[in-house]
Every structure is written in structure tokens, then in C-alpha cells.
Amino acid sequence: MAKESLLNELLAPVVESMGYTFWGLEYLSQGKDTVLRVFIDHENGINVDDCASVSRQISSVMDVEDPITQIYNLEVSSPGMDRPIFTLEQYTSLAGNIIDVRLRMAFDGRRKFKGQLIGVEQEDIVLRVDDNEYLLPVELIEKANVVPQFKD
């Protein structure tokens, strides 16, 4: 987790200085395959040119700072409709949405939850699953994503 914090501190100002919103990042290291996935957003949406431009800028910073010593793939993309959720502020702004949550360890006998995000209370998210409300500690969340809702 320390590596992700370092990368967030290094890359967020780069993305923001280019006029984009730094949505978050995933640092995935599995054996010899390492991926740094950076999510950017903008009120007018994100296109391929935006991703390429930000990717070039991030690559330059990464070459100078060298925070990842092994070979890795850099991916820059929009968070998409099924956007991952990284911060308490994002949970707050996404209240009312249906989300999928996977925890690092079991809470109330389970690790996976899918329900309506009600909001945030201190360091917990409030999630309604069926007729139950759960207070899930943010530090236990391994991964959370918005579940896209399509209107007929």
C-alpha cells in the first residue's frame, strides 16, 4: 500500500496540472507482470488523445523519479461507467448509486457486498443491501466499483 500512496502523491499533481481530475490509480504487481493504471476524468469526458497526452507526461515523471524499479505497463484511462472508487470524497459524491464492494477480510461473515451506497459516516461507508444497512470501514475495502444502471 505504501507504493500506491507514493505514486498517488507523485502523479496526482501531474494530472491536475494538465487540467484533468486525478480519479485514482491501481498498482498491480503479479510476478513479472506489473501494471500501473491511472484513471483521469474531465467534465467534458475523456478521449484517446487525452489519455495519450497524460500518459506521455506521466512517463516523463516516472523516468525521472523512478519509483517502480521493475518493468511495468502504464495504462491511462477514464474511470468509465463502472468507475472504481478510491476516496471518501468519491464515496460521498456517488451516494445513491449501486456499488460492488470487496473487502480484504470478512465482515459479518462475508467479503462481497452489492447494494445502494447511502453515504459516508466518519471512516465508514453506509451500504444498503436488501433490507439491511452495513457500516463498512473504508480501510477494509480492497476494491469498490459503481454498478452501471441502464435506463430503458
pLDDT digits (tens, 9 = 90+) for 134-147: 999 999 999 999 99
Q: What is the pLDDT of residue 108?
A: 85
Task: For residue 54, give the H/E element and its range.
Answer: helix 48-65
> 8-62: per-residue pLDDT in tens?
999 999 999 999 999 999 999 888 889 999 999 999 999 999 999 999 999 999 9
Q: Kindly report the pTM of this predicted structure.
A: 0.88
Whole-number Å distance between alpha carbons of 33 and 105: 25
Angle, alpha carbons 69-31-24 (nearest 5°):
65
Long-range contacts from 112-118, C-beta under 8 angstroms, 24+ separation = 114/147, 117/91
Domains and CATH numbers, the chain: 2-77 (3.30.300.70), 88-146 (2.30.30.100)
Confidence of residue 69 (pLDDT cuts 50, 70, 90): confident
Q: From CA 80, how far away is CA 66, in angstroms rounded?
A: 28
Backbone φ and ψ for 151, nearest 5 degrees, come out as -90, 140
Query: Would you say 40 and 20 are in contact if contact means Cβ atoms under 8 Å apart?
Result: yes
User: Average model confidence (pLDDT) for the chain?
Assistant: 94
Lowest mean pLDDT among 19-23, 66-70, 129-133, 138-142: 66-70
